[in-house]
């Protein structure tokens, strides 16, 4: 039995859905987990795949007048392609239409049938097509599906049932005595709550007259297997069950089944009872993460607010996308995805903190001959920075075991900020000027070594960018990528003597007008601002998106006069402007304090977006936006060429 190896799974995705951020998140989470465990030196297996049977797929194929298998073959590529783009390192991609998987499902069905664990009975109940699940009268909420709230249809038919109810007491006891089994613990409580009601047996068949796209029951050719009973078995068929006992025992039981909170019951009730009936040990942890929302609203096709991971990767790069997802969501809770929040986090953590530290170390080392010299005498400043990085190594490891990546990444970013503080305090540029070479070498070595260790810690999340960072410090990309977290604790640094390589900014700053405001905006107020904004985020500057004249006509640009301006307490980037446009006064909050003093603005003729929905920035109402041109570190307000009345249309 597997006690030391690490085996992680994602749900297998319905093949006809277009992959969205929810699918991308679970798969990236599993990938990061797998990479970290490999990095800790553990034997690791990562399984993902697609769920290809059932009514939804049959319907989608019928709509396209296509054979369902051919439909699956065409649509599965979307997932495989996306995983390739996202740098996913799964060891196996399972499809439930594979012959071997189907064989295992049939064998399990036959065995359970032979043992009397599956029986035939007449069934009357309610069926939800969307969820492909049966419910009893008492399960319904206001006569509708208790899971999704959609209409259900009355059904009376003969079917096969798995004796799930007989395992109810065992399951309650198992959950209560294994606190790691369902995580976070409030999800275990949710399952126990569900188990307070008497558990019914599970209907595991569908008559072919109603649904033909599924695995035929080995003991009754008039029926196919219920899609969830088929799908859950992927977790064992994917690692050699009934094919290669040695392989199977190497990996099973799984260390983690990662799932979204909406599929908790199928994983925490159906699956354990199935395993118990088959006679297999339980997975160590079923971990249910929360949902990604947009602007704090549920993502849905009808609202048009579903985030497409492919778009994000194309705009900002795969590593930044992975970093955002992992640092923004505390697994277990819901998180909010907005492009503004994405850009704000990218600019502050990656472009500013990490990017700056690397560029300072590179510049100074290149100026001093390009080779990282061994350190001379160490002072309290070096000890302080080294201790911060040690803390990050320990935090990353414990957060990883507790599935708290957001906190692990925050600890690593603290170490990066400590690196920047160290550079400012030790000021290698003045050491160079003063010719204090021994001290200069020590400082540059210490900062570079902090970067090296930070990069190893971040590599599972940002594998490609961290290999670039390693290359800049003079490593071969592949050698650096092979460095493990376990090496950080056991091996001495091999940095001294390496020749650094100049490189382009690792994370070039993203200029995104809306993001500037989000950056200055604390999370709480962002929520309110988002509610007032259209769901779809604008394309960032730099991405040329052609629009029609009608699109442009939607934006009302007008001249305005600044009456007065003042600073915003506690927000050193912001100014509050009182302006007048066409006889109407309004207030605009803008992130221009770095470039303009309040006094210099009074009386200026500026251009504003007059019909922007008001938003709250730092709790202050901002009605509109002023226009400014920005290049690099320079920002200039857009003004009119000579006198013109305020309120005049610009276009
Ligand atoms: N096929 C089943 C799983 C079978 S596993 C044996 C299935 N597939 S799914 O494609 O509909 O959903 C897969 C996963 O995506 C679920 O874990 C679900 O929670 C997750 N998500 C769907 N929308 C989501 C968000 N908006 N945010 C985060 N995850 C969400 O269910």
Judge whether residue 575 has pLDDT over 70: yes
Predicted local confidence at residue 536, as pLDDT: 34
DSSP classification of residue 499: B
Residues 442-466 have a mean pLDDT of 97
* Domain coordinates in residue numbering, the chain: 338-550, 554-650
Q: Is the CB of 54 under 6 A from ligand 1?
A: no
Separation of 308 CA from ligand 1 center, angstroms? 15
Q: Is the CB of 51 under 6 A from ligand 1?
A: yes
- Take atom 18 of ligand 1 and give the residue whose Cα is closest: 260
Q: Is the CB of 271 under 6 A from ligand 1?
A: no
Mean pLDDT of the chain: 89
The minimum-distance atom of ligand 1 relative to the CA of 11 is 5
pLDDT band at residue 79, thresholds of 50, 70 and 90? Answer: very high
Backbone angles phi, psi at 217, to 5 degrees: -70, 135
Separation of 455 CA from ligand 1 center, angstroms? 31
Q: Is the CB of 73 under 6 A from ligand 1?
A: no
Q: Is the CB of 334 under 6 A from ligand 1?
A: no
**What kind of fold does domain 338-550 have according to CATH?**
Isoleucyl-tRNA Synthetase; Domain 1 (1.10.730)
Tokens 């009808």 identify what position?
302
Q: Quick count: other Cβ atoms within 10 Å of Cβ 492?
A: 7
The minimum-distance atom of ligand 1 relative to the CA of 51 is 1
CATH numeric code, 554-650:
2.40.50.140
> 243 is written with which tokens?
């094919």
**Contact predicate 514/341, CB 8 Å:** no
pTM of the model: 0.78
CA angle at residue 398 from 397 to 403, to 5 degrees? 100
Length of the chain: 651
Separation of 481 CA from ligand 1 center, angstroms? 31
Q: What are the tens digits of pLDDT across the range 160-211?
A: 999 999 999 999 999 999 999 999 999 999 999 999 999 999 999 999 988 9
Predicted local confidence at residue 513, as pLDDT: 58
CA trace torsion 632, 636, 637, 642 (10° rounding) = -140
Separation of 260 CA from ligand 1 center, angstroms? 6
> 270 is written with which tokens?
């159906």
- Take atom 30 of ligand 1 and give the residue whose Cα is closest: 22
Residues 50-58 have a mean pLDDT of 93
Instruction: Name the E strands within 311-378.
Output: 335-337
Q: Among 75, 263, 274, 283, which residue has the most ligand 1 atoms within 8 Å of its CB, making it the best to mutate?
A: 263
Q: Is the CB of 291 under 6 A from ligand 1?
A: yes
Where is pLDDT greater, at 278 or 594? 278
Q: Is the CB of 17 under 6 A from ligand 1?
A: yes
- Take atom 10 of ligand 1 and give the residue whose Cα is closest: 13
464 closest CA partner among 200, 86, 61:
86
**Contact predicate 313/27, CB 8 Å:** no
Predicted local confidence at residue 29, as pLDDT: 97
Where is pLDDT greater, at 650 or 465? 465
Q: Is the CB of 560 under 6 A from ligand 1?
A: no
214 closest CA partner among 101, 114, 125:
101
Q: Quick count: other Cβ atoms within 10 Å of Cβ 513?
A: 17
Q: In what order do the strands lie in the sheet with 256-260?
A: 92-95, 44-51, 6-14, 256-260, 285-289, 182-183
DSSP H stretches of helix in 152-304: 168-177, 185-194, 227-232, 234-237, 245-251, 264-265, 271-278
Q: Is the CB of 26 under 6 A from ligand 1?
A: yes
DSSP classification of residue 11: E
Distances (CA, A) of 124 to 118, 204, 375: 18, 14, 78
Separation of 376 CA from ligand 1 center, angstroms? 54
- Taking every pair of Cα atoms in the chain, the longest distance, rounded to a whole number of angstroms, is 92
pLDDT band at residue 491, thresholds of 50, 70 and 90? Answer: confident
Cα distance between residue 517 and residue 596, in whole Å: 16
Q: What are the tens digits of pLDDT across the range 510-564?
A: 986 544 454 444 444 444 334 433 333 333 333 345 556 656 777 889 898 888 8
Q: What are the tens digits of pLDDT across the range 557-569?
A: 989 888 888 888 8
Predicted local confidence at residue 500, as pLDDT: 97
Backbone angles phi, psi at 9, to 5 degrees: -130, 155
Domain 338-550 and domain 554-650, same fold? Reply is no
Residues 364-372 have a mean pLDDT of 96
The minimum-distance atom of ligand 1 relative to the CA of 306 is 26
CA trace torsion 178, 182, 186, 192 (10° rounding) = -70
Q: Quick count: other Cβ atoms within 10 Å of Cβ 288?
A: 24
Separation of 13 CA from ligand 1 center, angstroms? 7
The minimum-distance atom of ligand 1 relative to the CA of 259 is 17
Q: In what order do the strands lie in the sheet with 133-135?
A: 133-135, 118-128, 153-162, 202-203
Separation of 391 CA from ligand 1 center, angstroms? 35
The highest-confidence range among 142-146, 470-474, 528-532, 536-540, by mean pLDDT, is 470-474
Q: Among 18, 23, 265, which residue has the most ligand 1 atoms within 8 Å of its CB, making it the best to mutate?
A: 23
- Between 107-121, 254-268, 451-465, 490-504, the lowest mean confidence (pLDDT) is in 490-504
Judge whether residue 92 has pLDDT over 90: yes
Predicted local confidence at residue 74, as pLDDT: 94
SS3 state at 565: strand
């Amino acid at each position: 039995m597997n006690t030391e190896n690490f085996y992680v799974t994602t749900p297998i995705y319905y093949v006809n859905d277009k992959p969205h951020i929810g699918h991308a998140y679970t798969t990236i989470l599993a990938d990061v987990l797998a990479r970290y465990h490999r990095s800790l030196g553990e034997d690791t297996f990562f399984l993902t795949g697609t769920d290809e049977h059932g009514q939804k797929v049959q319907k989608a194929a019928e709509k396209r007048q296509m054979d369902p298998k051919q439909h699956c073959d065409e649509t599965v590529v979307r997932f495989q392609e996306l995983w390739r783009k996202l740098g996913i390192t799964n060891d196996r991609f399972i499809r439930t239409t594979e012959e071997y998987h189907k064989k295992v499902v049939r064998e399990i069905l036959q065995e359970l049938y032979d043992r009397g664990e599956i029986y035939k009975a007449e069934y009357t109940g309610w069926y939800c097509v969307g969820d492909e699940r049966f419910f009893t009268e008492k399960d319904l909420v206001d006569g509708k599906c208790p899971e999704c709230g959609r209409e259900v249809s009355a059904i009376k038919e003969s079917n096969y049932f798995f004796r799930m109810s007989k395992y109810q007491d065992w399951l309650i006891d198992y959950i209560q005595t294994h606190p790691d089994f369902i995580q976070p613990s409030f999800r275990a409580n949710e399952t126990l709550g569900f188990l307070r009601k008497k558990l019914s047996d599970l209907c595991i068949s569908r008559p072919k007259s109603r649904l033909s796209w599924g695995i035929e029951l080995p003991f009754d050719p008039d029926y196919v297997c219920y899609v969830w009973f088929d799908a859950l078995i992927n977790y064992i068929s994917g690692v050699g069950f009934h094919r290669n006992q040695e392989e199977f025992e190497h990996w099973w039981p799984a260390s983690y089944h990662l799932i979204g909170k909406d599929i908790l019951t199928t994983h925490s009730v159906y699956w354990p009872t199935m395993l118990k009936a088959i006679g297999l040990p339980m997975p160590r942890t079923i971990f249910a993460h929360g949902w990604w929302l947009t602007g704090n609203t549920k993502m849905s096709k009808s609202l048009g607010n579903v985030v497409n991971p492919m778009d994000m990767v194309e705009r900002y790069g795969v590593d930044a996308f992975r970093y955002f997802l992992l640092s923004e969501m505390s697994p277990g809770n819901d998180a909010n995805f907005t492009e503004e929040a994405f850009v704000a986090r990218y600019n502050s953590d990656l472009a500013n903190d990490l990017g700056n530290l690397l560029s300072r170390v590179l510049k100074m080392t290149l100026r001093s001959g390009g080779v990282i010299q061994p350190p001379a005498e160490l002072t309290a400043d070096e000890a302080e920075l080294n201790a911060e990085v040690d803390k990050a190594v320990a935090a990353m490891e414990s957060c990883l075991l507790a599935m708290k990546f957001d906190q692990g990444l925050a600890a690593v970013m603290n170490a990066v900020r400590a690196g920047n503080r160290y550079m400012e305090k030790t000021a290698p540029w003045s050491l160079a000027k003063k010719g204090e070479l021994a001290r200069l070498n020590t400082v540059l070595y210490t900062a570079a070594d902090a970067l090296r260790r930070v990069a190893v810690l971040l590599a599972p999340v940002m594998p490609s960018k961290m290999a670039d960072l390693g290359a800049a410090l003079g490593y071969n990309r592949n050698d650096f990528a092979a460095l493990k977290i376990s090496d950080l604790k056991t091996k001495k640094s091999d940095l001294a003597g390496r020749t650094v390589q100049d490189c382009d900014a690792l994370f070039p700053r993203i200029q995104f007008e809306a993001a500037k405001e989000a950056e200055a905006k604390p999370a709480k107020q962002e929520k309110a601002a988002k509610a007032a904004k259209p769901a779809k985020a604008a394309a960032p500057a730099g991405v040329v998106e052609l629009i029609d004249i009608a699109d442009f006509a939607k934006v009302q640009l007008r001249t305005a006069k600044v009456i007065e301006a003042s600073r915003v307490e506690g927000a050193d980037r912001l100014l509050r402007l009182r302006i007048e446009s066409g006889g109407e006064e309004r207030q605009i909050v803008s992130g221009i304090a770095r470039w303009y003093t309040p006094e210099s603005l009074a009386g200026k003729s500026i251009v504003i977006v007059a019909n922007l929905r008001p938003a709250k920035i730092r709790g202050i109402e901002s009605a509109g936006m002023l226009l400014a041109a920005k290049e690099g570190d320079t920002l200039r307000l857009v003004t009119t060429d000579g006198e013109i009345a305020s309120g005049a249309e610009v276009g």
